[in-house]
Amino acid sequence: MLLLLQYAVNGLAAGFVIGLLALSLVMIYRSTRVLSFAQGVIASLATYVYYQMQTVWEWPAVAALPIALIAAAIVGALADLLAMRPLRKADALTRTVATLGIVLVLQVVMRVGWGGQESFVRPLVSGGIRAGDFNVGAQELLTAFVAIAAAGLFGLWTRTSYRGLGLQAIAEDASAARLLGVDPTRASMLAWSIGAVLAALAGILVTPTLVLNPLQMTLIMVTAFGAALLGGFTSLPMALGGGVLIGVVQSVTTGYVNVSGVSEAFGFVAVFAVLVVMRGKRGAVVLPGRSAA
């Protein structure tokens, strides 16, 4: 029983990381209807930048972290500018496929910059807490805190500030939002920047426990799809919660089942299962042309 709980607690950190990635996916999807496959590589890239500053140049984390986040925001904005803006008249599926192009390009950028090696990043904080027979690492706690804080802050910003409300308005009714003055191209860039920052946080926080590897982040990101789907791709808290849930179950499964690839696969099964469940909830009729005469 205790073992189960320990596994569960171990899974929390990974869960919050998945949740952060899910938040970034939801952020971008809500405002642009695009499912960004690039969030995983953006997370990796930001982590490599952070690694460069913190481990190679030995800057203090306090300096390296904000700079890495700003770099991520810039990368996100550039991705939107170069890949999404030219395709703004295309349908959402085409733009989603285009994000795969961003994946390919950024993978090469990382390969060129850091040779594709797996590298070690020092955790932001060390030590831990013992509660009876439990171990909870400080890094895990920090991850949880950051994820919740990020979700809370962005949620609040979306609900109160003009720009944040503008993003939500575009998500709910794009043409009505435009009639009120919201510029969809600027909104898209903003969403991508914020999404990139959230993804960067996920990457930087997870890296000490998970090896730095672009492929790995892409796989975690697919799991994040499942979490985002749980929130219907609109709810930020549910996306975060979904991530935690998936992370915990994955960890528990790894603990008990010793077949290679099972816990990873669980994430993908979760994605598929959520798709099936969500499908059942919605209606069916697909009509061409205008609505009722």
The interface with another protein within residues 28-57 (CB under 8 A) comprises 35
Count of C-beta atoms within a 10 Å radius of residue 260: 7
Residues 27, 199 contacting (CB under 8 angstroms) = no
Binding mask 149-168 for another protein (x = CB under 8 A): ----------x--x--xx-x
Minimal distance, residue 201 CB to another protein, in Å: 23
Which residue's CB is nearer to another protein, number 201 or number 238? 238
Q: Applying CB under 8 A, which part among 52-60, 133-141, 192-200, 269-277 lies near another protein?
A: 269-277
The position carrying tokens 């915990």 is 248
Residue partners of 77: CB distance under 8 A and separation at least 6: 189, 192, 193, 196
For tokens 């991850």, name the residue: 143
Q: Is 22 in the site for another protein (CB under 8 A)?
A: no
Write the interaction track for another protein spanning residues 78-107; mark x where CB under 8 A is met and - where it is not: ----xx--xx--x-xxx-xxx-xxxxxx-x
- 118 counts as binding another protein under rule CB under 8 A: no
- H-type alpha helices, the chain: 2-32, 39-51, 61-79, 92-114, 138-160, 162-172, 174-179, 184-206, 214-230, 236-256, 262-281
Give 88's DSSP letter.
Answer: T
Contact, 26 vs 233, CB < 8 A? yes
User: Are the C-beta atoms of 81 and 31 separated by less than 8 Å?
Assistant: no
Burial 57-85 (b: 16+ CB within 10 A, else e): eeeebeebbeebbebbbebbbebbeebbe
Q: Which of 63, 74, 269, 277 binds another protein (CB under 8 A)?
A: 269
Q: Which is nearer to another protein, 118 or 172 (CB)?
A: 172
Given 57, 120, 145, 272, the residue binding another protein (CB under 8 A): 272
The two tokens of residue 222 are: 């697919």
> Can you read off the two tokens belonging to residue 202?
């996920």
Applying the rule CB under 8 A, the residues between 171 and 190 that interact with another protein are 172-173, 175-183
Per-residue string for binding with another protein, 223-242, x by CB under 8 A?
Answer: --xx--x----x--------
Q: Which x/- pattern, by CB under 8 A, does the window 191-230 give for another protein? A: ------------------------x--xx--x--xx--x-
Counting contacts by CB under 8 A, is residue 68 touching another protein?
no
Instruction: Point out which span in 63-71, 148-156, 244-252, 271-279 binds another protein (CB under 8 A).
Output: 271-279
